[in-house]
Structure 1
Amino acid sequence: MTEPPQGPAADQSAAGVPTCYRHPDRETWIRCQRCERPICPDCMRDAAVGFQCPDCVKQAAQGSRQNRALYGGERSADPRLTSYVIIGINALVWLAIAVTGGSRSRLVDLLALRPDGYCAPGDGYIYDQTHPACTSAVAREVPGVADGAWWQLITSVFTHVEIWHVALNMFAVFILGPTLEGIVGRSRFLAVYLVSGLASSAMVMWLSFEYGSTVGASGAIFGLLGALLVTARKARLNSQWLVQNLVLGVVITVVGWRMISWQGHLGGLLGGIAAAAIIAYAPKSHRSLVQWTGLGILAVALVAVSLARAASFT
């Protein structure tokens, strides 16, 4: 039969003096602010409020790292969400166009990217809007960026007329979007998508037919491909499937160059590469500041060169 402790040890046990959970031979009245276990001065770690034990500090650090995206920012709880929103917006715009006349819908005139506008008196087209026929009651003005329709630089990225066009593009967003958002986080993914769209529009403004109409998200999708290539290479991940998809996209663009805007595809690809390079290669010491400043400058520059091109028409 074990005898009860005698002497000082018995007095401590009776008094209920706690001991450090890591050093049972050390008495302490200090407790961890998170788990409330007793800790001695050697185990105390400064926290925002009071002290924490080493185990709680380690767990908090691990949780913080796990919640960070690869290149800064918070990791998305659901990397598919932003892509679903983009798909939903494109689907709603397509539906609105479909129920208001399809290719002859007034929404196409307003949302599609057109470097310069023209008028349509009846079934014909007159590029010189000062022509007397453009002032007739039946003439329809079809505005372009040069006429002040600057919003077309971004609305065209969410505009589709044919169902097969929106279906193919949104399938690509569904495949590529969550992958990139899982790498860079939600806000940076959305920034890459929009900057790629602006870059696509800028290239169309400079290299496409002045009065041509361009719609579709394919420029932004090529931007996602370019961004994934940059981030994957930076992280030394396997990028073979990305290269294969890019080659396939180039082949489709070349084969269908009469119907496909190769200018938009090229601009989107270069824009996505540039945006991803800013995100992936920003120095860790001032990562967020450099990333958002760089992306902001890039976006402003793309809008500026597009408007400069529009000004040259007038």
Structure 2
Amino acid sequence: MAADSAITTCFRHPQVESHVRCTRCDRYICPSCMREASVGHQCVECVKEGARSIRQARTAFGGRISTVPLVSYVLIGLNVLAYLAELARPSVEDRFAMLGTVPPGYLPQGVAHGEWYRLLTGAFLHLTPGEGTFGLTHILFNMLALWNIGRVVEAQLGRVRYLALYLLSALGGSVLVLLLAPTTFTVGASGAIFGLGTAYWVMGRRLGHDMRAVNQYMAGLLLWLVISAWATSWQAHLGGLLAGGVVTLAYAYAPRDGRRTPVQAGVCVAVLALLLALTWMKVTSLTA
């Protein structure tokens, strides 16, 4: 009886005899619960607790470090799927493109008539072959830019901040189209791409990078903004550039302490609120 009372068992598996203690909590653990530690073994719970206490690595702008640009891949995939849907059913473009309103005498449609979703869905559509000046090259150029710049920006910002930047830039482009050219039928991810380009430039300056290549890219972006005054929707490009610039300035220059994330999130919410307020004011004037 005395020998039986001296038997020790694993605290997680009482039916398994054990003579090894966790070096952290000093409880008995069986072989299946043992995890190698710098000294001796630890139990599963102590290993998990230790992992939670380790501070996660962050980028220079507060985002979580990730080696796979998952958001960029998903955005490219969504744009491609939307393009295939346009090819299969041309009515998709008419139904979801950015459109503020139509002239009097036509069937009411557009953002001014309750179709607010067009502010974002239009940013995932592109011109189809034989349509407009660019056709197929429209989506090719935009996706190439998203592939080249998006991956860099996502790696610097982290996935959540990057996605917020992309969507707010796209929304900013659509809102400026609504304000300045409400009857213009607009499609394309260019507004979001301009926002990413501005972010690339702002982050380069903040991190002290060699600005020659960055400035060359920004000069090309601004040149395309001028050319787009005759070729495409310059309003969407400028709106994306401005919205993306404001958001990235908040990302780059927010205080590097516990206030950084709240400040960055607060600016994103403020930009969203401003864009929605401008949309509501314009819609009200168009339907008055």
Give matches, 1:104-123, under 5 Å.
105-117=90-102
- Structure 1: distance between partners of 2:269 and 2:248: 13
- Structure 1: distance between partners of 2:22 and 2:94: 71
Shift of 1:37: 2.3
2:112 corresponds to 1:150: no
Q: Give 1 or 2 for the bigger CA radius of gyration.
A: 1
Shift of 1:32: 5.9
- Structure 2: distance between partners of 1:247 and 1:190: 25
Structure 2 unaligned spans of 5+: 1-20, 26-35, 129-135
- Structure 2: distance between partners of 1:291 and 1:221: 20
3-state SS of 2:231 partner: coil
Write the deviation string for residues 188-228 of structure 1: whole angstroms up to 9, x where unpaired: 001100011111111111122x3111110111101001111
Backbone CA RMSD of aligned residues? 2.5
Identity of aligned residues (%): 33
For normalisation by structure 1, the TM-score amounts to 0.71
For normalisation by structure 2, the TM-score amounts to 0.77
- Structure 1: distance between partners of 2:221 and 2:205: 19
Counterpart of 1:109, as a letter, is D
Counterpart for residue 78 of structure 1 = 68
Counterpart for residue 240 of structure 2 = 268
Counterpart for residue 43 of structure 1 = none
Counterpart of 2:67, as a letter, is A
Shift of 1:85: 0.8
- Structure 2: distance between partners of 1:242 and 1:216: 24
Counterpart for residue 123 of structure 1 = none
- Structure 2: distance between partners of 1:257 and 1:113: 18
- Structure 2: distance between partners of 1:49 and 1:92: 46
Report if aligned partners of 2:59, 2:156 keep a CA contact under 8 Å in 1.
yes
Which of 263, 272, 279 pairs up with 1:290?
Answer: 263
Counterpart for residue 22 of structure 1 = none
Counterpart of 1:35, as a letter, is A
Shift of 1:270: 0.9
Write the deviation string for residues 84-104 of structure 1: whole angstroms up to 9, x where unpaired: 11111111111111121xxxx
Report if aligned partners of 1:201, 1:306 keep a CA contact under 8 Å in 2.
no
- Structure 2: distance between partners of 1:286 and 1:49: 31
- Structure 2: distance between partners of 1:278 and 1:298: 11
Count of residue pairs the alignment pairs up:
243
Q: Which moved more, 1:276-285 or 1:186-195?
A: 276-285
Shift of 1:75: 0.9
Which of 104, 107, 120 pairs up with 1:128?
Answer: 104
Structure 1 unaligned spans of 5+: 1-28, 39-47, 118-126, 135-140
Report if aligned partners of 2:190, 2:236 keep a CA contact under 8 Å in 1.
yes
